[in-house]
Amino acid sequence: MKKRVLTSIIIVLIVAAVIACKFLPYSIGDYIFDIFLLILAIIAGIEMCNIFACSNKTLNKFMASMYSIFNYVILLFSLRAIEYYLLPIIELCALIVYYLIALIVESSRNKNYTFKEKSNSALNTMLACIYPGFILCLLLMINHSDIYAGIQYFSVPFIIIIFAITWLTDTFAFLIGSLIKGPKLAPSISPNKTISGAIGGLLGGIIGAMLTYVLVYFTPVFQGILSNFNLTWWMFLIVGIVTSVFAQMGDLFESKLKRIAGIKDSGNIIPGHGGMLDRIDAMIFATFIIYIFTLGIIA
């Protein structure tokens, strides 16, 4: 437990430092955050490949783990040239191209495979790209949303709210679930999760969202975001509820993948927490909701 708490504190400090870099001049901080997120995505992608391997599914591990870099290059060329709501569509088209490349690579590399085996391997490669790489790319889009919103530091509160909701959802779910216990939430997927923990996690997500609103409301550099886009506290409340639910779904989704693969953790890179994917599984699903939120604001 001490190791887990100490590691959590270190993670919070690292994330806080990376977000603080967003205030550096000339958009330097934006690219620092990009690099930070790419590192997370690559490590999580490698772990996802290992989960597939444990599930006896063939795939191109190198292509799947390196997809985030390909994804990022496409995004850099699309920024400013493409509307914010079109960025995921461009990335989806790039994903299809990546699948075709994977199919060609599999065809040339495994000549003894049947076409069905080659296509299945390429499909598995693409699935390992979608989760986590493609979804995490939405956070890269949020990171550069200042360009489309026309307001400096627009992206910062929405990056903060992702971490605030997911972290407090996880923390409150653990604390309240351990204290109250009661009926299991999904015993066939994750036997330790309880309904009381899920409700506690929802409360934590709401607190995370409202704390972010308070931060934006009382920080002069962010106040223009509220007034220019008519954002209210109840909007943050709704976002907190929905995002917390999706964060918990993300946690269960990864637990299901590990259950199928017959493993406890996705890796062991983070002491006391397991793998990178174990740490960001909730954040992956939460990012999708916050991207939709920013899209509704900017559009």
Distances (CA, A) of 18 to 11, 55, 71: 11, 35, 21
Q: Highest mean pLDDT range out of 3-7, 219-223, 243-247, 269-273? A: 243-247
Q: Per-residue b/e over 138-153, b at no fewer than 16 CB within 10 Å?
A: bbbbbbbbbebbebeb
Whether the CB-CB separation of 285 and 257 falls below 8 Å is answered with no
Mean pLDDT for the chain? 92
Ordered DSSP codes for 212-246: HHHHHHH-HHHHHHHHHTT--HHHHHHHHHHHHHH
Rounded mean pLDDT, 256-282 = 89
The pLDDT-based confidence of 2 (bands split at 50, 70, 90) is: confident
65-109 pLDDT, tens digit per residue, is 889 999 999 999 999 899 999 999 999 999 999 999 988 888 887
Per-residue pLDDT at 55 exceeds 90: no
What pLDDT is attached to residue 110?
A: 67
CA angle centred on 208, ends 178 and 16, rounded to 5°: 105
What pLDDT is attached to residue 57?
A: 87
113-165 pLDDT, tens digit per residue, is 777 888 888 889 999 999 999 999 999 999 999 999 999 999 999 999 999 99
What pLDDT is attached to residue 186?
A: 87
Ordered DSSP codes for 70-101: HHHHHHHHHTTTS-GGGHHHHHHHHHHHHHHH
- For residue 285, give the DSSP letter: H
- The dihedral sign for the CA sequence 185, 186, 191, 193: negative
Is the pLDDT higher at 205 or at 271? 205
Cβ-based neighbour number of residue 228 at 10 Å: 13
Report field, pTM of the whole predicted structure over 0.75: yes
For residue 272, what are the contacts with CB-CB under 8 A and spacing of at least 6?
1, 3, 4, 5, 6, 7, 8
Q: Which helix (H) or strand (E) is 184 found in, with range?
A: strand 184-186
Q: Which helix (H) or strand (E) is 194 found in, with range?
A: strand 190-194
**Rounded CA separation 163/180 (Å):** 25
The domain total for the chain is: 1
What pLDDT is attached to residue 41?
A: 94
Q: Per-residue b/e over 47-77, b at no fewer than 16 CB within 10 Å?
A: bbbbbbeeeebbbbbebbbbbbebbbebbee
Is the pLDDT higher at 216 or at 112? 216
Per-residue pLDDT at 1 exceeds 70: no
What pLDDT is attached to residue 192?
A: 86
The pLDDT-based confidence of 111 (bands split at 50, 70, 90) is: low
Bridge-partner residues for 186, per DSSP?
190
CA angle centred on 253, ends 76 and 9, rounded to 5°: 70
Distances (CA, A) of 213 to 11, 187, 203, 204, 234: 23, 35, 15, 14, 10
Bridge-partner residues for 194, per DSSP?
184
The domain containing residue 70 runs over which residues?
A: 2-298
